[in-house]
Amino acid sequence: MSFNWCFIGTGQIAKKVAKELVTNPGHAIVSVFNRTKAKAEKFAKTYNSTVYESALDAINDPRVDGVYIATTNETHFSFAKLCLENHKPVLCEKPITGNTKELKELIKISKENNTFLKEAMWTWFNPVANKVRQWIKEERIGKILSVDCIFNMPIFGYNRAKGRYINPSRYGGALLDLGVYSVRYVYELFGKPKAITSRGKLYNGIDLFNDSIFEYGGFKAHVSSQINRLVGEHCIIKGEKGTIKVPLFHMASKAVLKTKEGKEVFRDKKKKFATQFRVVAEYINGEQENKLVSLDSSVEVMELMDEIRKQIGVIFPCD
């Protein structure tokens, strides 16, 4: 299948995914826009793409089948809106927007223009996360007793100078950057909780740390993320009949199921960004049913994140 992508943004994630994307047979990056043109030109050289002066010109390159938005969080809404109004299918980096209000507005525009929109929540286009969900559904560990899902990376220290992580007007903070994965993981496995209790540590109006208990009636899930300490990343699910452990769950290459019967390890070594782009291209082309990372699920995750922010006192200009 041939599929031509337009890239808006050529920062670190764009560079990382581009390398994998072009390993998909038939996939190419034909057009590029970046705020700083020199960086777009450097990027475009590698992929033989055309650089445009504006995002509008880039998405309207007649060869473009879909647009990938890889700019910073606070710009997702306006770039996605531009694409949808111009009938260009969109795959937008996480978090798809700053809050539910922005996301619902995008979904409205997407419906009015009958144009595809999807959050690039790559974890859930990949087999490991979906295998874990299958184990839970099949009740391989029986009645759930507890869940611990944490994602911590000291990006505050590494990128302090950059500022976007610690700026509420840029939709910064641990929750929107890392927590979007831990909230999504627990949501995909167990749905919306009955209640949430959250606490956080704020700095400059953003959360360096957030820590929530999701109440599921029968068990609790501990869902946490932080950008100021390296505590690690895992999801551990304990049940009456066993345990599931997923190290580095957002990019997991393996999940381990332990029960009385023994140990089962599910591994997936495939390129995870490549898989996401292949699946999304097939959805856009109508070659398979558009199932994973639905817009409804993005709305529900965004509602959970809005609630956590409300409880810990993080406010964005879009609120």
Site size for ligand NAP (CB under 6 A)? 20
Element (H, E) at 21: helix 12-21
DSSP 8-class letter at 304: H
CA triplet 85, 88, 93: central angle to 5 degrees?
100
Q: How far is the CB of 227 from ligand NAP (least distance, A)?
A: 12
290 phi and psi angles, rounded to 5 deg: -75, 90
Q: Interface residues for ligand NAP in 43-82 (CB under 6 A)?
A: 70-73, 75
The encoded tokens of residue 126 equal 């990949």
User: Using N-to-C axis directions, what is the helix angle for 12-21 and 37-47, rounded to 10°?
Assistant: 10
Q: How far is the CB of 34 from ligand NAP (least distance, A)?
A: 5
**Nearest CB to ligand NAP, comparing residues 31 and 73:** 73
**Can you tell me the distance from the alpha carbon of 85 to that of 80, in angstroms, rounded to the nearest whole number?**
9
**Nearest CB to ligand NAP, comparing residues 53 and 139:** 53
**Nearest CB to ligand NAP, comparing residues 119 and 220:** 119
Q: Which of 4, 5, 6, 9 binds ligand NAP (CB under 6 A)?
A: 9
**Nearest CB to ligand NAP, comparing residues 96 and 221:** 96
**Nearest CB to ligand NAP, comparing residues 9 and 173:** 9
**Nearest CB to ligand NAP, comparing residues 93 and 306:** 93
**Nearest CB to ligand NAP, comparing residues 141 and 177:** 177
Q: First and final CA of the chain: distance in angstroms?
A: 41
| Part of the chain binding ligand NAP (CB under 6 A), chosen from 31-39, 149-157, 187-195, 199-207 | 31-39
Give whole-number Cα distances, 135 to 143, 238, 269, 303, in Å. Answer: 12, 12, 19, 26
Q: How far is the CB of 221 from ligand NAP (least distance, A)?
A: 22
**Can you tell me the distance from the alpha carbon of 148 to that of 220, in angstroms, rounded to the nearest whole number?**
9
Give whole-number Cα distances, 66 to 32, 103, 112, 211, in Å. Answer: 12, 19, 18, 36
Q: Count CA atoms closer than 13 A to 284's CA, side-chain side.
A: 25
Q: How far is the CB of 146 from ligand NAP (least distance, A)?
A: 27
Binding letters toward ligand NAP, positions 104-143, x by CB under 6 A: ----------------x-x---------------------
| Part of the chain binding ligand NAP (CB under 6 A), chosen from 10-18, 96-104, 232-240, 311-319 | 10-18
10 phi and psi angles, rounded to 5 deg: -130, 45
Q: How far is the CB of 85 from ligand NAP (least distance, A)?
A: 17
Q: Interface residues for ligand NAP in 145-204 (CB under 6 A)?
A: 177
Three-state SS letters, 254-268: EEEEEECCEEEEEEC
**Nearest CB to ligand NAP, comparing residues 34 and 198:** 34
Which residues are near ligand NAP by CB under 6 A?
9-14, 34-36, 39, 70-73, 75, 93-94, 120, 122, 177
